[in-house]
Amino acid sequence: MTSPLFKRCAALSIVSLFALGPVLLFAGGAQASYKLTPYQSSRKNAGTPNSTMVKKNSDGVIIAYGDSSITYRAPSSALVTLGAALFQQNCASCHGTQANGVPANGTSGAYPDLVGLGPATIDFWVDSGRMPAANPRSIEANRRVPRLTHDQALAVSAWVNSLSPSFPLIPYPHLKNANVADGAALFALNCASCHTIEGDGDALALGTFSPSLRKIPSIEVAEAIRTGPANMPRFTGNLSDAQVNDIVKYVTTEIQHPNNPGGFGLGGLGPVAEGFVGLAFGVGVLALVGFWVGERDD
Amino acid sequence: MSDVINTKRSKQQALGRYGRVGKTLDELDDRLGVARGGRTFMDKIFPDHWSFMLGEIALYSFLILLVTGVFLTLYFIPSSAIVTYHGSYAPLDGQKMTQAFASTVNLSFAVRGGLLMRQMHHWACDIFVGAIVIHMARVFFTGAFRKPRELNWIVGSTLLILAIVNGFLGYSLPDDLVSGTGIRIAYSIILSIPLVGSYLAFWVFGGNFPGTTIIPRFFILHCLIVPLIIIGLVSAHLFLLVRQKHTQFPGKGRTEQNVVGSPMFPVFMAKTTGFLFIVGGITALLGAFAQVNPIWQFGPYDAARISYAVQPDWYMGFLDGALRIWPSWSFHSWGHTIPFEVLIPAVVLPGLIFNLVFVWPIIERKFTNDNAIHNLLDRPSNRPKRTAAGVTMLSFLGMLFIASSTDVLAKFFNVSLNDVLVSMRYLTVIVPILAFPITYRICHEIQALHGGGRRKTPNVVTRSEEGEYSATPSPRYVDDVPSHLEATPVPTYIHEESDESGDSGVRVVDR
């Protein structure tokens, strides 16, 4: 015969096990901490070149993608002098006077070495306002109002490129012939898994974010695809220039100026915003109407 | 002249006292005997308290779902056959997609009023499930589920499950990128069930994911089978409601043996018909002005494609949240895998929650040893333990719901996604545990308060002859209940109606 006291103790212990078990387990899981790397800048895992149209130079670096949808141009060498001055003013305190990632009194490897990255990379980071970084020690350099003008960004990339001429050059997409529908399909296949299918961007792991694509100019979209800034993979041979062109067209037209009937877009937050509106406005207003129709004296 | 025939008057006399309508009803009564039942129905008493209107929101949004749903079935093609889209939406032109997706895009863009109907259908669904939940919360916190209404509580809880299931099925039908991901998650959840999982998944999907049969199957379930069951259960719900009569809040003239409120005809019918139109109007406003589920932006589903930041509709949020935050536990041995990280949050947890909901009336009877029949409702503050238990459950579900938007929170507050995830794990456990004693405490405080839980009464400010002002509380709480709730005589079946006081039509009816 079991006493009620025993029963109560057993029930209590089971309940407390259920309540405390997850706490302990989560507490254990939280101990396994993670390590952050500044800018997550490994470029080793970039896209796999598999297109037969890709042309490489003797060092195995891709110099062309084989069709004329995008024109790749090196920045004008006339800008090199201006670029050198701008680099010393704005970039050298971290990247070093020789752009090799070694600042004065610093150690090698603390900041990215820019020599040989190609003008498209330099232009992207400066022109998008990510560089000069607001906080050099933060996990991410976020997009903001650019410190340098477009021409100044080109000048900086011209000077860095003059140290060791390299690829990719700055891409100028020709959007007239691009196919939006192909771009939409390629976007869903290659981009939506981070930038979301509506192009709004979202939080990725470990304090990194995929940026919103709503206001990015076409050259920067193409540069990002070809150079793979920060966490983004570098799409090289697996996307032809025509395909990149399609994606850029889709992003700069349908993502940035969507043909979007159906009323207010609710901030592109998807079902979270929809649920909020449905509950707060739909059910909430109807409950208020019920409150108005019904008796409420007690 | 006396033999001049007044045709109008003689016609009126021939029709009888109640005119053409009365005549028709008389004819019906002669054949079907509708008078007795009709009178009972017309005299059904509805308590006037506003919280009794919440269930009606659910009922009327369900009506809107039926009407807009019928419209959508005329244009939607439930087929997984692959077609090439050539329509007015340029970014999809030439893309290959299932007919289900193509027809949904077409009904949104090419059918007059189609997008409005689709959006109204979706909003009505969000409102339907939301109204069920707040109606259920009202029933729970006021103790309306107690004997003799346990059966109706179970019917209502089943309705909630069916509403959630049908919402998920309908959300999946367009076969867009986002809902396709949802179907994939459902497939994985079925797979996670030990022993039978893979057989069950193949049985439901007619083979491996995605297959071509799941859209037609979901269509039949969504448009025929589940709605039929819902209609049947709603009828049972309302039948039980009429049979057992409404509960009511305690007050002067209100006892366990009577119901005080407005009769079905004419007072309540006028109110409720107006309410139906308001529910329709709010749904139409949302459908017209607030975009919902823009599938053309998502594109067609393809197993190789995935979008980030995908959440389900809000009523599935607690499941998605549980899946997101559950630690990655799994069992691998003897050539078998049991993925506890899917099985527990997506199968065991909702099973436990809904079972708890179903048996709650029995649990409460066991704990309180209260086997009496209850027609008077509790104030939530007078039942602190029940209220605290309810708030605990709601806060647990609320935390899971919030956990389904970890990525949105991380983006919005600009913090690390991992930190949000870990904090949600802690909060989901801690917040409900804290919610119980806090609610319990608040209930006790309200009990101790004079007039707590009542509306505030105005102070009467008077100016004396000397010009001095003084404020005295109006004496509402002294006699507590307005006098018009005094019982008025009830007309019984077939007797001529006596002259009533005409005072807002409030009646008292014996049970």
Task: Tell me whether residues A282 and B308 touch, CB distance under 8 A.
Answer: no
pLDDT band at B266 (very low <50, low <70, confident <90, very high): confident
Average pLDDT of chain A, as a whole number:
78
Question: Which residues in chain B are classed under CATH 1.20.810.10?
Answer: 45-318
Answer yes or no: are the C-beta atoms of B316 and B160 closer than 8 Å: no
pLDDT at B154: 96
Phi, psi dihedral angles at B229 (to 5 degrees) = -65, -40
What is the distance between the alpha carbons of residues A230 and A31, in angstroms, rounded to a whole number?
27
Pairwise CB contact (< 8 Å): A294 & B408: no
* Nearest Cβ partner for B94 among A181, A276, A279: A181
**pLDDT (tens digit per residue) in A31-48:** 334 333 333 333 333 333
What is the Cα–Cα distance from A160 to A164, expressed in whole angstroms?
7
B155 CB-side CA count, 13 A: 17
CA dist A282 and A275 (Å) reads 10
DSSP state of B176: B
Looking at domain B45-318, what is its CATH homologous superfamily?
Answer: Cytochrome Bc1 Complex; Chain C (1.20.810.10)
Residues 6+ positions from B37 with CB-CB distance below 8 Å: none
**In B, which residues are within 8 Å of A269 by CB distance?**
408
Q: Does A23 contact chain B (CB < 8 Å)?
A: yes
**Confidence band, pLDDT 50/70/90 cuts, at residue B281:** very high
- Using one digit for the tens of pLDDT, what is the confidence trace for B421-473? 999 999 999 999 999 999 999 999 888 876 665 666 677 888 999 999 988 87
Distance of CA A180 to the CA centre of its chain: 22
Question: How far away is chain A from the Cα of B1, in angstroms, using its nearest Cα?
Answer: 55
Candidates B404, B417, B431: best to mutate against A (most CBs of A within 10 A) is B417
A223 pLDDT higher than 70: yes
**pLDDT: which is higher, A56 or A93:** A93
SS3 A37: coil
Residue-by-residue DSSP string for B105-173: HHHHHTSTTHHHHHHHHHHHHHHHHHHHHHHHHHHHHTTTTSTT-HHHHHHHHHHHHHHHHHHHHHHHT
pLDDT in tens, B341-376: 999 999 999 999 999 999 999 999 999 998 888 988
pLDDT of residue B496: 42
Mean pLDDT score, B49-76: 94
Confidence of residue B103 (pLDDT cuts 50, 70, 90): very high
Question: Are the beta carbons of A254 and B91 separated by less than 8 Å?
Answer: yes
- At which residue do the structure tokens 């891709």 appear? A62
- Reading the block at residue B31, the tokens are 């054949």
Task: Report whether pLDDT(A49) > 60.
Answer: no
Q: Is the pLDDT of residue A298 over 60?
A: no
Q: What share of chain A is helix, strand, coil (3-state, %, to 5)?
A: 45, 5, 45
Q: Which of B48, B95, B411 lies nearest to residue A294, judging by beta carbons?
A: B48
φ, ψ for residue A248, nearest 5 deg = -60, -40
Helix, strand counts (H, E) of chain A = 11, 6
3-class SS at A165?
Answer: coil
Distance CA B122, CA B108 (A): 13
| Coil vs helix vs strand at B380 | helix
Both structure tokens of A123: 């232009």
pLDDT tens digit sequence for A147-197: 888 889 999 999 888 888 887 888 899 888 888 888 888 898 889 889 988
Q: Which amino acid is at A30?
A: A
Instruction: Provide the pLDDT for residue B312.
Output: 87
Q: Which of A81-85, B168-172, B347-351 has the lowest mean pLDDT?
A: A81-85
- Residue B476's pLDDT is 56
For residue A81, how many other CB atoms are within 10 A of its CB?
13
What is the share, in percent, of chain B residues with pLDDT greater than 90?
Answer: 54
Side chain identity, residue A6 = F
- Measure CB to CB from residue B127 to each of A198, A209, A278 and give the nearest one: A278
Could you read off the pLDDT of B202-214 as tens digits, one per residue?
Answer: 999 999 988 899 9
* B501: Cβ contacts below 8 Å, ≥ 6 apart: B488
- For chain B, the first-to-last Cα distance in angstroms comes to 57
Residue B126, pLDDT > 50, answer yes
Structure tokens at B458: 């105005």
**Mean pLDDT calculated for residue range B309-335:** 89
Cβ count near B483 (within 10 Å)? 9
- Are A83 and A153 a contacting pair, CB within 8 Å? no
Calpha distance B263→B509 (Å, rounded): 10
Phi and psi at A48, nearest 5°, equal: -90, 120
Q: Residue B263: pLDDT above 80?
A: yes
Q: How confident is the model at residue B493 (pLDDT cuts 50, 70, 90)?
A: very low
Mean pLDDT of chain B: 87
> How large is the average pLDDT for residues B405-415?
87
Of residues B145 and A5, more confidently modeled: B145
**How confident is the model at residue B47, as a pLDDT?**
85
Tokens at residue B387, please?
């209220």
DSSP secondary structure string for all residues of B206-221: TSSSS-SSHHHHHHHI
pLDDT over 70, % of chain B: 90
DSSP B507: E
Q: What is the pLDDT of residues A187-198, one digit of tens each?
A: 988 898 899 888
Q: What is the pLDDT of residues B223-262, one digit of tens each?
A: 999 999 999 999 999 999 988 888 888 877 788 888 888 8
B397 touches A at CB < 8 Å: no
Q: Are the beta carbons of B123 and A200 separated by less than 8 Å?
A: no
Nearest to A204 among B50, B327, B417 (CB): B417
Rounded to 10 degrees, what is the CA torsion of A182, A186, A192, A198? Answer: -10
First to last CA, chain A: 51
CA A210 to CA A194: how far, in whole Å? Answer: 6
Q: Per the structure block, which two tokens stand in for B170?
A: 């309908």
pLDDT at A27: 44
How far apart, in whole angstroms, are the C-alpha atoms of residue B507 and residue B492? 12
Rounded mean pLDDT, A19-34: 47
Tell me the chain A residues in contact with residue B51 when contact means C-beta distances shorter than 8 Å.
Answer: 290, 294
Task: Please check whether residue B134 touches A, CB under 8 A.
Answer: yes
* Cβ neighbours of B52 in A, within 8 Å: 294
Q: Hey, of B96, B411, B456, which one would you mutate to test binding to chain A, going by the most A CBs within 10 A of its CB?
A: B411
Query: Has residue A142 got a pLDDT over 80?
Result: yes
CB contact under 8 A, B177 and A197: yes
Whether residue A65 contacts residue A53, with contact meaning beta carbons closer than 8 Å, is answered with: yes
Determine the distance in angstroms separating the CA of B317 from the nearest CA of chain A, rounded to an integer.
9
Residue with the bigger pLDDT between A29 and B101: it is B101
How many CA atoms, within 13 angstroms, populate the side-chain half-sphere of residue B29? Answer: 12
Q: What is the pLDDT of residue B7?
A: 75
The verdict on A21 touching B (C-beta cutoff 8 Å) is no
Is pLDDT larger for residue B116 or for residue B16? Answer: B116
pLDDT at A109: 67
The nearest alpha carbon in chain A to B430 belongs to A23
Give the pLDDT of residue B501: 45
What proportion of chain A, given as a percentage, has pLDDT over 90? 8
Name the more confident of A58 and B394. Answer: B394
